[in-house]
């Protein structure tokens, strides 16, 4: 190989090494730029709003999905009631689009029951941004504040936004019902979101 051919080859190799080093310094994109992202654009109620526990709640959620892959399923805005997970046991922040937040939402889903929800069939592909408006009514569980203080502290009501797989089943009265099973966060690379509802106890105290 001649010196004339070695020199361009060396320059190309140096340029390639520089690009690799630069990529290593920059690192890979944040997880919310790689995983399908769910966001609560607006909601009623909002985080931190004091709500009366003895009154029905009318919930409105403007949700947004930013797809990072092809996904088909049901978008669910839901209020979930847990008698084992109080707000103090979680750190849910709808502005924190992290895997930790998604895992906490998944934890709530696995240890709670529904108090009201709205669903919408959705499908999307990489880079698509889709906004969905959902509304529904919620009745606060009557035992939310009954019992000893320790038991009350372990209860929580949460507004969540997630994706799942839906199956229609026929009830005994011949009505159709939609059963939605949340997609696993890790398997489908999804970032769920949500926050705790701040309920005022009938006596005037706040949610522990």
Tens-digit pLDDT profile for residues 90-145: 999 999 999 999 999 999 999 999 999 999 999 999 999 999 999 999 989 988 99
Q: Which residues pair with 52 in a beta bridge?
A: 200
Residue 207's pLDDT is 46
Local structure of 39: helix, strand or coil: strand
Confidence of residue 56 (pLDDT cuts 50, 70, 90): confident
**What ranges make up the beta strands (E) of the chain?**
36-44, 50-52, 57-66, 71-82, 113-124, 129-138, 156-170, 176-182, 190-191, 193-196, 198-200
- In a domain, residue 180? The reply is yes
Residue 206's pLDDT is 45
Residue 84's pLDDT is 95
pLDDT tens digit string along 20-44?
554 445 678 999 999 999 999 999 9
pLDDT at 81 > cutoff 50: yes
Distances (CA, A) of 176 to 83, 88, 107, 170, 172: 29, 37, 28, 5, 9
pLDDT at 6 > cutoff 60: no
Residue 27's pLDDT is 79
Residue 104's pLDDT is 98
- In a domain, residue 15? The reply is no
Cα separation of 10 and 169, whole Å? 67
- In a domain, residue 2? The reply is no
pLDDT at 70 > cutoff 80: yes
Name, in order, each residue with C-beta under 8 angstroms of 88's C-beta and a sequence gap of 6 or more: 153, 208
Domain ranges, residue 113: 31-200
Distances (CA, A) of 184 to 1, 83, 98, 128: 56, 22, 15, 21
- In a domain, residue 25? The reply is no
pLDDT tens digit string along 151-200?
999 999 999 999 999 998 866 665 668 999 999 999 999 999 999 999 98
- In a domain, residue 14? The reply is no
When divided into structural domains, the chain yields a total of: 1
- In a domain, residue 43? The reply is yes
- Considering the chain, what percentage of its residues have pLDDT values greater than 70? 81
- In a domain, residue 18? The reply is no
- In a domain, residue 20? The reply is no
């Amino acid at each position: 190989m001649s010196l004339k051919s070695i020199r361009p080859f060396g320059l190309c190799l140096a340029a390639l090494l520089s690009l690799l080093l630069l990529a290593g310094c920059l690192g890979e994109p944040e997880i919310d730029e790689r995983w399908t992202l769910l966001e609560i654009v607006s909601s009623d109620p909002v985080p931190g709003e004091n709500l009366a526990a003895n009154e029905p709640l009318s919930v409105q959620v403007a949700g947004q999905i930013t797809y990072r892959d092809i996904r088909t399923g049901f978008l669910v805005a839901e209020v979930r009631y847990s008698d084992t997970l109080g707000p103090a046991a979680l750190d849910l922040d709808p502005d924190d689009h992290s895997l930790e937040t998604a895992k906490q939402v998944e934890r709530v889903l696995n240890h709670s029951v529904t108090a009201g929800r709205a669903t919408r069939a959705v499908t999307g592909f990489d880079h698509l941004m889709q906004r969905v408006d959902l509304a529904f009514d919620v009745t606060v569980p009557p035992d939310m504040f009954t019992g000893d203080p320790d038991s009350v502290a372990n209860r929580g009501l949460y507004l969540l936004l997630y994706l799942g797989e839906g199956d229609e089943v026929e009830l005994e009265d011949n009505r159709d019902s939609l059963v939605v099973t949340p997609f696993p966060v890790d398997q489908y690379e999804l970032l769920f979101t949500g926050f705790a509802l701040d309920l005022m106890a009938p006596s005037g105290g706040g949610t522990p």
